[in-house]
Structure 1
């Protein structure tokens, strides 16, 4: 004090100022020490956040996965509803506004709200709709499963983004802490210089300390915000059931979450620095998938794939791997971040479905083979029954003999119709039927169809009527053969169940007759026994008939209407039935056809009349003795004496040694089958190639096209009739003339 007094007012002022500055310096130094301790505490908190795992989105993912499994396994509606409620609750919790304090980022809150909206408006309605029945419920279940899978991907993406942000924020926090520590060390040096250099430098030191304190406070505020975000992201990573792994640019593991440790059984300290492919793969892991992962890693590209992995105990499990590259701010590749989702149950379900599909395909093949064999075996003796009775009816018979023969012939035709119905139904079930789209005449089709029933109508005393609107164009485009098959079934039923009265077929056009697309309505009305209203919905099901009494009286397989509905719907039309017991039945067929500007080409005149075949040289290749007799007798009725061989080899030798203009070739024969024989004949250098007709009991869908593709010119299925055989010979004559 004495020294200060001796300096005068200015010295006293400087001394007091210096003392105050020194005191302020000491106080700031003490505050700096306290701040250093607080910084160390903050650093410890940041490190704890880095090592912690968040737990929010995983609960949503877990409930989504459970709901997806319930839908895939077709669980009880109550279980599905409960799963849907759990998902809704978790999704809403993850998107509440109060989560802003946990998320630390409004962008993340917005993203969670958008995901919530997609669940409530897009996916949940499908889940609820899938609880119903029918095709619509099945479609809704598939749509719900697909939507849930996309939601799972959204939450995986959110978890991955959280992890990336957490690591970036941790890096930023570390950088801020390092800067602050550097400033603190610089301040300590300045304080030392202040004490050494004097009062003048003390003022500068005090100013720097104040500045540093402000910077420290700002850094601490930033650190608190980062800590809040890191806390949220840590909970997200902690709660997710997906295994997360981070690697360096060479693929060496640098970090995994707890879900990874639980799933694989490997702890982070055991695998840090190792490549995941070195300890997670096994004998069933696809080497091709590993190669694709390595290629994507070498090019720094993301990849998503599925592969088999193995736990530390050697247990196999399947994962969906999403591998994304991590880049620095400068764009340099720093490493990779992978999300592994356990899909073991889904993979096992897919394998079961694959096995079931293969078993179903094998069963379908066995069924097709059985039907083909049974068709062939049944048609072979039917050929003899129908052929010989057909020939017998052309001979002189007394009234009793003709009655017996006609009864046998009708029974054979009925049996053939039953076989055809079963074969058509089988082909429809397997989706093997093909449909044509060719010009045809509706008037000709109707006339030909009703002509088939004229004799039956006259025998029963039933009036058979046909009315066609003049608005129906002369030529339409469609499948005339399938439409004729439907009409034969419907008109045949009407004739069968009508004992008196009439059967009418009406053809009308709906709408303008000048358009390109025309709707044609066919109505078949009878005055038969009728059908109870409660039975009508079942009539279009397979093997369903009106009632037991009608079945015993009128017979039938119950397939006619089922086949007709499938054929009509496959061609884009509809078929409906109205009936009243004791009044009659009306079947309405609605079809849409394209107008054809030109009429269908007329049938060649040579094919319209029975031609003279007496000078024809015909070769018959048939191994069955009875069928040989049938064909030879039929050919004899039209003036042909054929040459008969018993197998394909004999047929080839006969063609090489003699001139034949027509060959009736069976397909299935001993020594050499008909297809092989046809190929050899076609390869033989002949002056004129014979016209080869496949005369076979193979009558499944596609057989005709298969035989024509093998080199045959025509096809006639067994049992063969005299008219069918004559028609084939007529066509062979026309074919030779055209050739």
Structure 2
């Protein structure tokens, strides 16, 4: 309530008053309301009314400000406390004045503990000085820094602080934990350092280029090899990949062009007539494109490997290999020829001796003939050993897989040494386990060769006592297999330990001084070891000087189910073989005579032809049951004659006649080659009576079955 006169005295008009104020004259008492307050005026003077009005206005304004401030503070506290980022307020000296829960969680301290600390207290001592200098420099412009801090438990953590001056004496800061990011960055830097070091020190040339084909990196190896050490990296950096002098000189820019389109390349043995360093050479190049995450081409890497030395070495090795192969072929040809030339006369010697032994002789003459036959057979074995060693060295030794009677094969070997046992007085005994199968699949001849060699060695070094041969089954690894352990033990002189290590080396024999007859070339055990290995086994030796030696070896054979009597002991049925009409094709006169006499003793009739061409004429004119065919003959050899018999129309009626190769060719693969040409069987010279008889029986049995 205001007096109208006093209102004008203060220079105010009615429009200046707020709503709800009543203006009255003096001496009048009225009641009115102003925003909920009741005023009573009793003859109020104008001065007092003005003060009351001013006080009312001031109180109302203050109330509104306080209400707004309270609301603002509530909003601020809610926002700060719920913020996931650590927030703090500090004074200019660094003392913390306010922190939110996120800051407490980040540091491990409670709010009360933090408000009693200075920012320096939560920094790592190593970064405290630098951190406070940065804090002192904070102004109205926001600043960001990364500092190393410490949590309540002392754990070091990297914090990123963004701070700004909030008031002249207040600083507002936001803190984020960047420890993991810093660790990742450190790992990335380490990785980049390692890979850069690897690229720089790699033993191959590495060159990087961008999406435009501009070179951005070359390593030290590139500068050393392809620039001859005379060019700095700047020579290459910034140049186009396809414009490099070496690339242009080699004429391969078109081959590298796909690499600039993101296509990998791989070029081998590219000839560079001149590297940047000035020399020529061969290079393997591999181009690897690189792509951005969105798949766009980003550039690539070109890897170059200088293979000049390797190419030169390969050429040298190729030349050496060709020379070695030529020498090996020459050696094989020489051995084959020498074998043929030696076996042919040896066949005549052995054949004549066998004929002589079969004729009426005095006991002294019979002894001489037997010794001569024994020497001839030993010479034959030596020749076979030399050829077997040649097969081993050439990797052409082969193992056959045919069914045979195990007990019969062993019996035949033991029978060979019965005369020696009787002559020397050294007992030969054997034990064959009854659990062994009757029939097996394997190479009976090679198994017999191993046993013959080992038993022969046992008799060679044993003067008194015995030689014992045993065979036992071993557990099989797979179904359908038979593993057999053989033992050949003697009571001879034994082998010194120093000789055991080299026992299986070629041309090596255990040293026995001058007291023993150690005939042989020292090839047998080496060949036996290789044969046993081919038959899926191994060999070992146990020996004590003065006590004897035991050789143990195992082989792996196949298992078959044979009917009783399916295989006959060798030698029995051959004696009942009917007389045959045999066409003997042989160019050597002595061999013709020996073979004719042996066949006639078997009861066969023999017609002779000197070569393949004459044999065809004789066969066309007469009827024959069997052909014994030599291989190397003048005018027409045995292979051509056999092919004619099997395929020519004029021999259609006789195309199935059994043909047995009787030849001095005994190198690796000869037997297989002759059988593949159409022959039915094979016997090598020098021919023994038993071998010839067995070959004829097999050929006739095969023809009867057909």
Q: Normalising to structure 2: TM-score of the pair?
A: 0.65
On the 8 A contact 1:441/1:600 being kept in 2, the answer is no
Which residue matches 2:225?
A: 263
Which residue matches 1:176?
A: none
What CA distance in whole angstroms lies between the structure 1 residues aligned with 2:307 and 2:369?
Answer: 69
1:655 aligns with 2:622: no
**C-alpha RMSD of the superposition:** 3.9
On the 8 A contact 1:439/1:600 being kept in 2, the answer is no
Which residue matches 1:542?
A: 506
Larger displacement relative to structure 2 (396-405 or 424-433): 396-405
Shift in Å at residue 469 of structure 1?
A: 2.3
Q: Deviations over 1:157-178 (max 9, x none)?
A: xxxxxxxxxxxxxxxxxxxxxx
1:346 aligns with 2:310: yes
Cα 1:236/1:658, change in 2 over 3 Å: closer
Q: Deviations over 1:270-306 (max 9, x none)?
A: 889998678767999799xx88756666672354644
Match of 1:415 among 361, 368, 379: 379
What CA distance in whole angstroms lies between the structure 1 residues aligned with 2:575 and 2:426?
Answer: 35
Match of 1:559 among 514, 523, 537: 523
What CA distance in whole angstroms lies between the structure 2 residues aligned with 1:536 and 1:598?
Answer: 41
Q: Deviations over 1:603-625 (max 9, x none)?
A: 36998423567753322221111
On the 8 A contact 1:545/1:551 being kept in 2, the answer is no
What CA distance in whole angstroms lies between the structure 2 residues aligned with 1:421 and 1:405?
Answer: 24
Unaligned stretches of 5+ residues in structure 2: 1-182
What CA distance in whole angstroms lies between the structure 2 residues aligned with 1:374 and 1:438?
Answer: 31
Larger displacement relative to structure 2 (576-585 or 542-551): 542-551
SS in 1 for 2:372: helix
Match of 1:616 among 561, 564, 580: 580
1:480 aligns with 2:447: no
Which residue matches 2:411?
A: 447
Q: Deviations over 1:155-198 (max 9, x none)?
A: xxxxxxxxxxxxxxxxxxxxxxxxxxxxxxxxxxxxxxxxxxxx
SS in 2 for 1:490: helix
Q: Deviations over 1:567-605 (max 9, x none)?
A: 223323222222233332221223344554556872369
Which residue matches 1:82?
A: none
What CA distance in whole angstroms lies between the structure 2 residues aligned with 1:587 and 1:605?
Answer: 27
SS in 2 for 1:549: coil
SS in 1 for 2:604: coil
SS in 2 for 1:467: strand
Cα 1:438/1:676, change in 2 over 3 Å: closer
What CA distance in whole angstroms lies between the structure 2 residues aligned with 1:553 and 1:236?
Answer: 67
On the 8 A contact 1:261/1:267 being kept in 2, the answer is yes
Cα 1:239/1:483, change in 2 over 3 Å: closer
1:369 aligns with 2:333: yes
Which residue matches 1:707?
A: 674
Determine which structure has the larger strand proportion and give its number. Answer: 2
What CA distance in whole angstroms lies between the structure 1 residues aligned with 2:617 and 2:214?
Answer: 76
What CA distance in whole angstroms lies between the structure 1 residues aligned with 2:564 and 2:190?
Answer: 66
Cα 1:296/1:616, change in 2 over 3 Å: farther
SS in 1 for 2:574: coil
What CA distance in whole angstroms lies between the structure 1 residues aligned with 2:346 and 2:674?
Answer: 21
SS in 2 for 1:686: helix
SS in 2 for 1:679: helix
What CA distance in whole angstroms lies between the structure 1 residues aligned with 2:257 and 2:402?
Answer: 56
Which residue matches 2:539?
A: 575
Q: Summarize the alignment of residues 104-143 of structure 1 with structure 2, pairs less than 5 Å apart.
A: 105-108=185-188
Cα 1:490/1:277, change in 2 over 3 Å: farther
Unaligned stretches of 5+ residues in structure 1: 1-102, 114-231
Cα 1:303/1:407, change in 2 over 3 Å: same
What CA distance in whole angstroms lies between the structure 1 residues aligned with 2:458 and 2:203?
Answer: 66
On the 8 A contact 2:484/2:554 being kept in 1, the answer is yes
What CA distance in whole angstroms lies between the structure 2 residues aligned with 1:635 and 1:373?
Answer: 27
What CA distance in whole angstroms lies between the structure 2 residues aligned with 1:424 and 1:600?
Answer: 35
On the 8 A contact 1:618/1:640 being kept in 2, the answer is yes
On the 8 A contact 1:474/1:599 being kept in 2, the answer is no
Cα 1:421/1:292, change in 2 over 3 Å: farther
How many residue pairs get matched? 519
1:675 aligns with 2:636: no
Cα 1:281/1:533, change in 2 over 3 Å: same
Shift in Å at residue 657 of structure 1?
A: 3.4
What CA distance in whole angstroms lies between the structure 1 residues aligned with 2:202 and 2:402?
Answer: 61
Which residue matches 1:309?
A: 272
Q: Deviations over 1:288-342 (max 9, x none)?
A: xx88756666672354644332325763223332212244565344654312233
Match of 1:508 among 463, 472, 480: 472
Q: Which has the higher contact order (CA 8 A, sep 6+)?
A: 1
Larger displacement relative to structure 2 (581-590 or 706-715): 581-590
